[in-house]
Amino acid sequence: MPATQMKQRVTFRNILFATDFSSAANHAMPYAAGLARSFGATLYAMHVQEPINYAVPPQTWQTAQLTRDMEIRCLCEAVKHDFPEITTEVLEGEGSVWPALNSAIKNHDIDLIVVGTRGRTGVGKALLGSRAEEILRHAPCPVLTVGPRTDSGDKVHGKIASILFATDFGAASLGAARLAVSVAEEYQSKLTLLHVIENRKYHQMATPADFGESGERLLRALVPAEANFWSAPHFVVEHGPAAEKILEVALRTNADLIVMGVHKPEGVPGAATHLPVATVHQVVARARMPRPNSSGLVQSCR
């Protein structure tokens, strides 16, 4: 990545918080609101529901509509109470999750999506099933997924103390490097940059020590000299399965946030969910952070 591009700091202006009103979505909300406050962004809270089936008795769909209206009001009141300084708007979608989200992204110039990874319906359920590839690979902006064991009861409002950035030095992961550096600067977080070497046959002419030295030099090149951190970044090179090593280092560094890149969709449209599970999807599904306010951030590269 050109040095001038790496020096450009990432900022968020419009954040989309996708909710199904589940406990997981409630846990994710402080992160969305906290980021909106830190970056001075507008927060859009969006719920996507299935089309009303008017063939059922009126009291059935009327009750469902009243319940949704009540949940939306409660969400708005909670955000205004805990984050009175941010601008919040409510969006309502109908139909399939991804088309509704995609429409909102385009209409409101969204530059970050925040979702919980567990839920009874909608987005939360999708991120644990076959629709994960659709959201993570097709979103034209970063996607922040908040883990199922998140506990925002301590009211830290999404504070991020430690960030892990994992890269294979491909175009997608390099595109996420600026994001990791920018968030680390904004929150003055400890930043760890990781490269995992999965296949050594490409490096048979070098020793393991050479792998580490070369990888560390490349990692250091991703951090602009003028970046302002509370503590110096750490650079780590590991050998082995990428997902396993990313999760290991995340635990070792007490990471609150994992930043990775997602490659653009390839092959037959709609076939991504039938392919072997990607490294990014494995990490999102299996991450077990040591602190209750942990999450994972995935940069979707177009």
CATH number at residue 52: 3.40.50.620
Lowest-pLDDT choice from 66-75, 137-146, 268-277, 292-301? 268-277
Residue 42 and residue 15 share a domain = yes
Residues 195 and 78 in one domain: no
Whether residue 8 has pLDDT greater than 70? no
Q: Are residues 252 and 274 in the same domain?
A: yes
**Using one digit for the tens of pLDDT, what is the confidence trace for 23-44?**
777 778 888 888 999 899 999 9
- φ/ψ of residue 18, rounded to 5: -90, 125
* 253 plus 180 within the same structural domain: yes
What is residue 121's predicted lDDT score, i.e. its pLDDT?
45
Q: 225-242: per-residue pLDDT in tens?
A: 888 888 899 999 999 999
pLDDT digits (tens, 9 = 90+) for 130-141: 455 667 778 889
- CB-based contacts of 161, cutoff 8 Å, min separation 6: 187, 189, 190, 254, 256
Give 63 or 52, the one with higher predicted confidence. Answer: 63
Note down the domain range covering 281.
162-300
Bridge-based pairing of strands 143-146 and 112-116 is parallel
Helix (H, G, I), strand (E, B) or coil at 176: helix
Among 134, 153, 172, residue at a domain's last position:
153
Rounded to two decimals, what is the model's pTM? 0.79
Kindly report the backbone phi and psi dihedral angles of residue 221, in degrees, each rounded to the nearest multiple of 5, phi listed first: -70, -15
Structural domain total, the chain: 2
136 and 180 share one domain: no
Dist CA 278 CA 283 (whole Å): 9
Determine what percent of the chain is predicted with pLDDT higher than 90. 28
